[in-house]
A = this chain, B = another copy of it.
Amino acid sequence: MVVRLDARRMNPREVVRRLRRPKGFLSREVRSAVRRVVEDVRERGDEALLEYAERFDGVRPDPLRVPPEEIARARDSLPEEIAEAFRASAANVRRFHERELDLSWELELAGARLGQRVRPLRRAGIYVPGGHGAYPSTLVMTAVPAQVAGVKELCVCTPPGPDGRPNQRMLAVAGLLGVEEVYAAGGAQAVAAMAFGTESIRKVDKIVGPGNDYVTAAKLEVFGEVGIDAPQGPSELLVIADGTARPEWVALDLMAQAEHLSGASSVLLTPSGDLAGRVEPLLSGRPAEHVTLVLVRDLDQAVELANLYAPEHAHLFCAGAEALLERVEAAGLVAVGDTSPVALSDYAAGPSHALPTGGTALWASALGTHDFLVRINHMRFSREGLGSIGPHVERLAHLEGFENHAASVRVRLE
């Protein structure tokens, strides 16, 4: 059931090794299975896409692209209370990402004007997982940052249900957000279709969004041909709590994360044996198998472990939480204080719930507008600017043996 670990005298790397779940999308078996699917869709287009749909989803979606009427119908049939909740969610996600958005800028340097133009991608592909459940909230969390960034064309792929159609709630949210291009296509084959283009699905510039190991491996496989966001695996929560935390609340937060099952991981780091003892009996059922309770020496050790583990979500549930936040160096999202359950950010707080997992928070960030932008650097030199920098450039070009580089500067100085 619940795993307990006394880390007070353990080497921190060993603790993290024990907590870490394997990344299935990196496994050789998954990668080579996916490679075949990707190559096949690349070569045979829709025909291969539909064959794999039949094999993996048990159905050949017809039509592949969801007609506008189907999206409008789904949107109109959404209960008003639910529509309102999605609108509130989208509004917060929009405001958060408007603040995040990078802007173009210019800079004068001696005799030169340099700058960076920040531009939206022209066409982005979004994968929204389905299958066991349906996650219309994921469409909010991926499409809204893209819209804020200014991406004109959004191409959404999501797996068909047994009836060959995507989940109706997902379509309803597409309708609410004004997303018009949705395909009933899932798995590695959908990723390949967006990467290379087929008769029905036009090639995109970049593919984002979470998925299972096959979807993620397919994104890694097509990276270079198109852009992708950082790989996202099973969900994780790391709670740092002391004796001031309410055991009932901590237990529910751990259970909430753990109920994602399939590789999900909930970890409590606490110096309070009393808290751990009171949390444990509140954990039950299959989610409890995904919880680890770790006894640490103090909050310093907890932060040290958190920074090595680099969790997707962290929750600071202790005295001095704000000061502790300043010491967190690697985490996708940090919830601070006892009235900020992580579930808020899963659905509506503002930051995207598409977050780095499995330790990738060491180098990756939450999905955001930056995933949907490119930066075009530019420069223009005056004759004076050229005169002051040109001789340096000539010398360095000579040094590296690029005589035409040097000549292209020299001819303008003569």
Where the two chains meet, the residues of A that have a C-beta atom closer than 8 Å to any C-beta of B are 23, 25-26, 81-82, 84-86, 88-89, 92, 95-96, 99-100, 102, 105, 107, 109, 112, 114, 116-117, 119, 121-122, 133-137, 169, 205-206, 220, 223-227, 230-231, 248-249, 252-253, 255-256, 258-260, 287, 322, 325, 328-352, 360-366, 368, 370, 373-383, 385-386, 389-393, 395-397, 399-409, 411-412
| Selected A-B contacts with CB under 8 Å, 10 pairs | A114-B350, A122-B362, A223-B231, A336-B378, A339-B412, A340-B381, A348-B396, A349-B389, A351-B379, A370-B370
Is B330 within 8 A of A374, CB to CB?
A: yes
Closest residue of B by beta carbon distance from A363: B227
Q: In the complex, what distance in Å separates the CA atom of A405 from the CA atom of B257?
A: 8
Is B334 within 8 A of A134, CB to CB?
A: no
Assuming the contacts A230-B227, A389-B344, A408-B341, asked whether A379 and B350 have C-beta atoms less than 8 A apart, the reply is yes
Assuming the contacts A256-B405, A333-B379, asked whether A347 and B392 have C-beta atoms less than 8 A apart, the reply is yes
- Beyond A109-B350, A343-B408, A346-B402, list 4 extra A-B contacts (CB 8 Å): A96-B109, A256-B408, A365-B377, A370-B375
The distance from the CB of A348 to the nearest CB of chain B, in whole angstroms, is: 5
Q: Which of B96, B224, B329, B375 contacts A231 (CB 8 A)?
A: B224
Q: Which residues of B have CB within 8 Å of A382?
A: 339
Is A363 within 8 A of B374, CB to CB?
A: yes
Ordered nearest first, which 8 A-B pairs have the shortest CB separation? A227-B363, A351-B377, A85-B392, A365-B375, A336-B380, A256-B404, A252-B408, A343-B405
The distance from the CB of A338 to the nearest CB of chain B, in whole angstroms, is: 8
Is B341 within 8 A of A409, CB to CB?
A: yes
Is B339 within 8 A of A395, CB to CB?
A: no
Q: Which residues of B have CB within 8 Å of A345?
A: 377, 379
Q: Which residues of B have CB within 8 Å of A86?
A: 396
